[in-house]
């Protein structure tokens, strides 16, 4: 008998998910603007609050935690003050640090966002996006090999910041195949075609166009189908789920193509929506939901987090309420 959405969400509890990729800190400076600087034509922000949150692949971990799963981050961070802040954030949330490698050759990525009167006015990035070195790659692979023994799903969260390299990707996919663990990917441009043989590949419209060097329209489904067919020929992945922004999601595998339209939302901020989508899709895949339900549930979750300013994880109760109305 097929799982209901409620049963599937209950089965998320306790699932072990390895999240491999680029972790970072999302730093927020909240304030208000009431004048323009005399030094340059820019607003002066009077700071009311400063906050640090887990971002990038770590935001996927936050979403997984909110959904009841047990995330384990596998990544390389620096040996700097920002790394200390990041490790403290892991402790606050109760996320395992077993898979984290600290390297003097890296700096911990921080994205500073300035938000004034509910408007995102500026972002400043502090990062090193060069590929990790051979020693750090070997250490990370050793951790992944060990930690994946009882994993229910492996998620690649690629932000093009250097942790995921073609060598590491293919070795981890090989480990997953050997152990029978499903793999899911939220890709970026640099390694787009390196994820050959994964279970679920989830690009957005921009990433699909750039990665394939193939221009197509997200509102013309025949063109989306043609793009996913081209991707399958290049990568031989099992499922492809393309997020199409206001046009919903399109999911394709060897036997079917399904287009799910978007639901009307009051969009406040799209930051982090992709992290929510891959988190929900990965767990839904792990518990055996059919792919149309995987896509539908992930589509709902991505829309829900867009109603909030800043990068926020999905609320599981809100997701269930929404799913029972619309799926």
pLDDT tens, residue by residue, 3-29? 899 999 999 999 999 999 999 999 999
pLDDT band at 268 (very low <50, low <70, confident <90, very high): low
pLDDT tens, residue by residue, 72-92? 999 999 999 999 999 999 999
Taking the CB of residue 165, how many other CB atoms lie within 10 A of it?
18
Q: Where are the domains of the chain?
A: 5-24+56-108+128-326
Handedness of CA 89, 185, 262, 315 (dihedral sign): negative
CA distance 244 to 262: 9
CA distance 119 to 90: 28
Are 201 and 228 spatial neighbours (Cβ–Cβ below 8 Å)? no
144 pLDDT above the threshold of 70: yes
Residue range 5-24+56-108+128-326 forms a domain whose CATH class is alpha beta
269 pLDDT above the threshold of 80: no
160 pLDDT above the threshold of 90: yes
Mean pLDDT (the chain) is 92
Are 61 and 78 spatial neighbours (Cβ–Cβ below 8 Å)? no
Q: pTM of the entire structure?
A: 0.93
Q: Which H helix or E strand runs over 258? A: strand 257-260
Task: Kindly list the catalytic residues.
Answer: 275
């Amino acid at each position: 008998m097929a799982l209901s959405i409620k049963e599937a969400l209950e089965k998320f509890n306790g699932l072990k998910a390895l999240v491999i990729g680029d972790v970072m800190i999302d730093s927020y400076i909240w304030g208000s603007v009431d004048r323009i600087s005399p030094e340059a034509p820019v607003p002066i922000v009077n700071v009311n609050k400063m906050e640090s949150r887990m971002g990038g692949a770590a935001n996927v971990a936050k979403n997984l935690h909110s959904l009841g799963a047990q995330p384990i981050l596998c990544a390389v961070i620096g040996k700097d003050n920002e790394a200390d802040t990041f490790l403290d954030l892991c402790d606050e949330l109760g996320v395992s640090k077993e898979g984290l490698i600290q390297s003097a050759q890296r700096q911990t990525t921080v994205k500073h966002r300035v938000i004034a009167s509910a408007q995102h006015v500026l972002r400043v990035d502090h990062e090193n996006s060069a590929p990790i070195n051979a020693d750090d790659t070997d250490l990370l692979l050793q951790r992944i090999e060990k930690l994946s023994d009882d994993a229910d799903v492996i998620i690649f969260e690629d932000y093009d910041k250097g942790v995921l390299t073609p060598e590491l990707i293919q070795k981890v996919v090989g480990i997953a195949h050997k152990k029978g663990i499903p793999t899911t990917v939220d890709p970026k441009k640099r390694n787009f075609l390196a994820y050959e043989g994964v279970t679920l590949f989830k690009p957005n419209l921009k990433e699909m166009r750039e990665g394939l060097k193939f221009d197509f329209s997200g509102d013309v489904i025949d063109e989306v189908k043609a793009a996913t067919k081209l991707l399958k020929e290049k990568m031989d992945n099992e499922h492809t789920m393309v997020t199409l922004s206001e046009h919903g999601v399109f999911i394709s595998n060897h036997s079917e193509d399904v287009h799910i339209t978007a639901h009307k939302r009051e969009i406040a901020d799209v930051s982090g929506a992709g992290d929510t989508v891959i988190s929900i899709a990965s767990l839904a895949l792990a518990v055996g939901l059919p792919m149309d339900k995987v896509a539908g549930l992930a589509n709902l979750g991505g829309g829900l987090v867009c109603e909030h300013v800043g990068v926020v994880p999905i609320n599981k109760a809100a997701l269930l309420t929404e799913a029972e109305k619309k799926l």
